[in-house]
Structure 1
Amino acid sequence: MSFDYFSKNGELLPVQEAAIPLSNIEYQYGFGVYESIRVVNKTPYFLKQHLERLQESARFIELEHPFSAQSVANAISNLIEKNTVETCNLKILLIGGKTKDEAALYILCLNPLFPDKKLYRDGAHCITYAYERLFPHAKTLNMLGSYLAYRKAREVGAYDTLLINRSKEITEGTRTNFYCIKGKTVISPPAADVLPGVTQLVLKKVLEENEYAFTERSIPATEIETYDGAFLTSTSSKVLPIRTIDSTTFPSISPELRALMSFFDEYVEKSRGTL
C-alpha cells in the first residue's frame, strides 16, 4: 500500500516533497527523537502514552520545540483521514533546530511490518552484542550502535540483537524490550537501564489482571538458562517468545508464556488501543 501524503509541522503535503535538507546539522548529528505507533481501523493504539514518551524524550535531550501533544495528535488524525488509511504504522520524527521555532515535526504513514507467524509458534532466535545506548531513557535518532547490532542479527538470520552492558547483563533489544519468565513471574532489566516501553505499560496491566508477578533485576547473560523462557515486546511484535539466545536454547515455550501471549492479544483487542 502506498500513502500519498505526509505531515510537516501540521501541514499535509505530497509524500514526494518529504525531504530533510542536507544542511540540517541537527539531523546529521542525531539531535532528534521519534516514535512508532500502530494504527488499526483508523485508531492510533496507545496514542496518549506514545505522545507522552515523545515529549519526555525531547525534554531529556533538551530539545525545545513548539509542538504540544494535542497538536501532534491533531496532525496524526488529519494525516490518517487524508490518506484514507485503515491500518498502518506511523513514524513521528521530531528534529531539533538552532532555536525552538526551528524544530520540525514529520509524520509519515508506513506499511506495517509484523513478525512471521511461525516465530510466535516456534520462538525467535536472538544474538547478543556489547553496546550501551547513550541516553537509554530517550528514543533518539542517535541509532548507530543499535543499527550495527541489528545488522549483526540480520547477517546470521536472527530476529533481533540483545544489548549487553559493561557488567555483562542483558538490557534490551535494538528495537524491543526484553524479559525473562520463571513460572508466573516476569523479570525485566532495571528501568534505569532501558527505554521505557509503551508496550511494557500494557504488559504490566495484563500481568496484573491475570495474577502474574513482575519484578525488575539485572539479568546476567550467563544466567539465561536458569529461566523458563524469555520474550520480547514492541509496538509491532506484541509479546514474541524467544527460543534461542546465542548458543542457549530453551527446550520449549513454557505454558505460562503461551498463556501470557494469549492474554496480551485479548487485552489489546478488547481495549482497542487504550489503557
Structure 2
Amino acid sequence: MHTAISGQYFYKNRTLKSVNFFNSEASDSSVCVYEVFRVEDSVPLFIEDHLKRLKNSANIANIELWKTSSQIKQVIKTLIAANNSDDGNIKLDFKINSNSEREFQAYFLPSHYPSETEYKKGVVACFQQAERPNPTAKIFNSKVRGQANSIIEKEHVYETILVDHLDHITEGSRSNLFFIKDEQFFTAPDEVVLPGVIRKKVLEIIEMKGWNIQFKSLHKDELSTMDAAFLTGTSPRVLPLNNINSIKFNVEHPLLQELKSSLNLMINEYKSSRINS
C-alpha cells in the first residue's frame, strides 16, 4: 500500500533526501514497525510515550531497533528544521525485508485534523468485523487498514469500529474508543487494543479527576444503553461520536466536555515545558 508524504524532505537511514526519492512500498514478507506522533509549535507531543510504545512494538515483532531514542529525537529535530514545518504528523518506519535488509525512514504525513464543526457536533462511524493479530503493537496490517479505508470511503464515515468474532467492541481502525454511561467511563482492556498515547493521557485525567472507569469490551447490543461515546488518537485527540450506525450519542455530555478541556490544558502545559526548557 502506498503511503502519502508531505514536505520537501524525508529522512532515510542516515541522511535527508528529497521527497522525489521517497518509496513506501513494502513486500508482504517485510515486517514494518512504525509510530506516528503529532508536532505542534515545533514540539513533538508526548514523544517519550511514543518512543516507549515504538520499542514495545519492536519487542512484540521480535525486532531490535537500530537507533536509540536520542538518535531518533535528533532525526525529528532535523526533519522539522529542514521542512520548516511547525505543525503536522510525523511517521517513523523501521522496516526489515525477507533478506534481513534494514531500512529506517522518518517523514511528514499529510495532516487531516477534525474541524471545529466535527468537534462540536461529533462524527459518524460504522462497524467493521475485524480483529488484529497483534493489537497491542503498531505493526503494519494492510488487510485491516485496507478494509477500513474502503468502508470509510463507501459509507462516508469518519471511522470504522472494530468488532471481534464474539460481537464485542474493541477500538477504531485508527483510534481508541471510550463510552460513558451513568457518570462511568468504559473502554476495552489494554490487552485487546493498541495502547494509544492520547488514550493513556485520557486515562491519567480520569484517574486524576477521580472518575470511575471500567475496562470492558462492550457487546454490540450494549451500545444503545450508553450515554456518550468518543474517539481518541494522535490526530483527533478527543473527538465525540454522534452515532455508530443508527445508535445515537450525546455529544454535549458534561464529562466529555470537561475531559476535552483537561486534555487541551495538559497539551499546552507539555508544550510550554519543552519550549521554555
1:193 and 2:192 equivalent?
yes
Under a length normalisation based on structure 1, what TM-score does the superposition of the two structures give? Answer: 0.91
Does residue 5 (structure 1) correspond to residue 9 (structure 2)? The answer is: yes
Taking the TM superposition and a 5 Å limit, the aligned residue runs for 1:92-107 are: 92-98=92-98, 102-107=101-106
**Aligned partners of 1:155 and 1:77: how far apart in 2?**
38
Give the 5 Å matches for 1:38-117.
38-98=38-98, 102-117=101-116
Q: Is the 8 A contact 1:243 1:253 kept in 2?
A: no
Q: Deviations over 1:133-178 (max 9, x none)?
A: 1111111112322321232122121110000001101101010001
The reply to whether residue 216 of structure 1 matches residue 220 of structure 2 is no
Q: 1:195: Cα distance to partner?
A: 0.6
Query: Are 2:32 and 1:32 equivalent residues in the alignment?
Result: yes
For 1:181, what is the secondary structure of its paired residue? strand
> Residue type of the partner of 1:50?
H
Residues 65 and 96 in structure 1, CA contact (< 8 A), matched pair in contact too: no
AA matched with 1:78: T
Matches within 5 A, 1:221-260: 221-260=220-259
Q: How many pairs are equivalent? A: 270
Would the aligned equivalents of 1:10 and 1:71 in 2 still touch at CA under 8 Å?
Answer: no
The equivalent position to 1:16 in structure 2, one of 5, 20, 28, is 20
Q: After the TM superposition, which of the residue ranges 106-115 and 207-216 deviates more from structure 2?
A: 207-216
Q: SS where residue 137 of structure 1 aligns?
A: coil
- RMSD value, Cα: 2.1
User: Counterpart in 2 of 1:145?
Assistant: 144
Structure 1: stretches of 5+ with no match in the other structure: none
Q: Distance in 2 between matches of 1:104 and 1:221?
A: 41
Equivalent-residue separation in structure 2 for 1:234 and 1:65 (angstroms) = 24
Contact between 1:29 and 1:142, CA under 8 Å: does it hold in 2?
Answer: no
Summarize the Cα distance change of 1:105–1:188 in structure 2 as closer, same or farther, 3 Å threshold: same
Tell me the amino acid that sits aligned with residue 22 of structure 2: A
Whole-angstrom distance in 1 between the partners of 2:79 and 2:113: 22
The sequence identity of aligned pairs, in percent, is 29
2:129–2:165: 8 Å Cα contact kept in structure 1?
yes
